[in-house]
Amino acid sequence: MAVKHPTCIYKGKRVSGKRAYRLSIKMIGFCLFKLPRKASRFKVHAKTCNRILHEIQDVGKEMATCITVSNQDGMFIAKDFIPTHNSVFCRNFLWRNMDAYPCFYFSSETSDTDFADYASRMTWAEPLRDGKPKFELIWRNKDWKDVIQPDAINIIDWLNLGDNFYQIGAVLEGIKERLNKGMCLIAIQKDPVKDLGMGGMWSEHLASLYLTMDFERLTVKKAKKWHGWNSNGKTYGFQIIDGGCHFANVRLLQKCACYGGKVRGVECATCKGTGFIDAPVR
């Protein structure tokens, strides 16, 4: 599917129309058209849309564990897979702010017990006040604008629109309208090979601060307001320790002299294929 911004000539002037979508449908060996002039233009694709099984290996008989999760879409993310960076960042952001501001944490994947488990290991701040959490943990996976708290810190871990990623602009707009003097930290998914998160520039243009996270790497894509040190375009390296609780070894990186982690098609030995090396300490 592609986004189109059509224009037309109206009363001698070129005017822009509403946003339009161009949908491409690929059919395998089956022609959708009956009209001969359309049917004659139908091409048979050699490739299949289906997944192909390449190999089956016998690994013997072992005890196994089945996993189901309470999450409605049944999705779970194992520890140390890239998306967990988001949650670690969100939880750390909460821990940094819960003493100073009212905080609301909207989560769609971390259960209360898992959250309590992380909290018990994030020992550098005390999450309870008089036996009650200093923040509100709310399970939510849609209609966020209805629950956003104005004049507070809202954290959405994470905003999943599934295939409707093109709606992100409208969803963010709805959230922003509710904030008043508050703010909202929103975690969205990012394809490791892409530069921006889900929805591309539609997710970026409303943000005051836009950070992207790749494996053990964070890049400041956009920081509208900064004081003293302009971090726009800077990349930082880090490690996550204590079972997904703690950012460690945070340092400024710079691009390696190789080309995207490769030297003549082979993994670069200097940056171990990451394309980044530690910047000299100033």
CA dist., res. 124 & res. 268, Å (int): 38
Query: Among residues 253 and 256, whose Cβ is nearest to Zn ion?
Result: 256
Helix (H) or strand (E) holding 209: strand 209-214
Q: Which SS3 state, helix, strand or coil, does residue 93 take? A: helix
How far apart are CB 266 and Zn ion at their closest, in Å?
11
Question: Between the CA atoms of 46, 52, 54 and 59, what dihedral angle is there, to the nearest 10 degrees?
Answer: -170
Beta strands at 209-214 and 135-139: parallel, antiparallel or unpaired: unpaired
User: Total residues at the site for Zn ion (CB under 5 A)?
Assistant: 5
Query: Among residues 144 and 276, whose Cβ is nearest to Zn ion?
Result: 276
How far apart are CB 256 and Zn ion at their closest, in Å?
3
Tokens in use for 229? Answer: 């040190």
3-state helix, strand, coil in the chain (%, to 5): 20, 25, 55
Which of 148, 270, 278, 279 touches Zn ion (CB under 5 A)? 270
Does the footprint of Zn ion cover residue 258 (CB under 5 A)? yes
Q: What are phi and psi of 39, to 5 degrees?
A: -60, -35
Does the footprint of Zn ion cover residue 268 (CB under 5 A)? yes
Beta strands at 153-157 and 103-107: parallel, antiparallel or unpaired: parallel
CA dist., res. 106 & res. 157, Å (int): 6
Q: Nearest to residue 179, comparing CAs of 204, 209, 147, 203?
A: 147
Which of 271, 278, 279, 280 touches Zn ion (CB under 5 A)? 271
Query: Among residues 188 and 268, whose Cβ is nearest to Zn ion?
Result: 268
Query: Among residues 159 and 256, whose Cβ is nearest to Zn ion?
Result: 256
Tokens in use for 226? Answer: 């900064």
Considering only the stretches 22-30, 130-138, 170-178, 263-271, report the one whose residues sit in contact with Zn ion under the rule CB under 5 A: 263-271
Query: Among residues 33 and 259, whose Cβ is nearest to Zn ion?
Result: 259
Which whole-number Å values give the CA distances from 126 to 93, 121, 241, 246, in the listed order?
14, 11, 19, 15
Angle 193-198-201 (CA atoms, 0-180°, nearest 5)? 95
How far apart are CB 257 and Zn ion at their closest, in Å?
7
Query: Among residues 184 and 258, whose Cβ is nearest to Zn ion?
Result: 258
Query: Among residues 102 and 261, whose Cβ is nearest to Zn ion?
Result: 261
Does the footprint of Zn ion cover residue 253 (CB under 5 A)? no
Considering only the stretches 112-120, 139-147, 233-241, 252-260, report the one whose residues sit in contact with Zn ion under the rule CB under 5 A: 252-260
Considering only the stretches 106-114, 139-147, 224-232, 261-269, report the one whose residues sit in contact with Zn ion under the rule CB under 5 A: 261-269
Which of 256, 259, 264, 265 touches Zn ion (CB under 5 A)? 256
How far apart are CB 265 and Zn ion at their closest, in Å?
13
How far apart are CB 272 and Zn ion at their closest, in Å?
8
| Residues at the contact surface with Zn ion, assessed by CB under 5 A | 256, 258, 268, 270-271
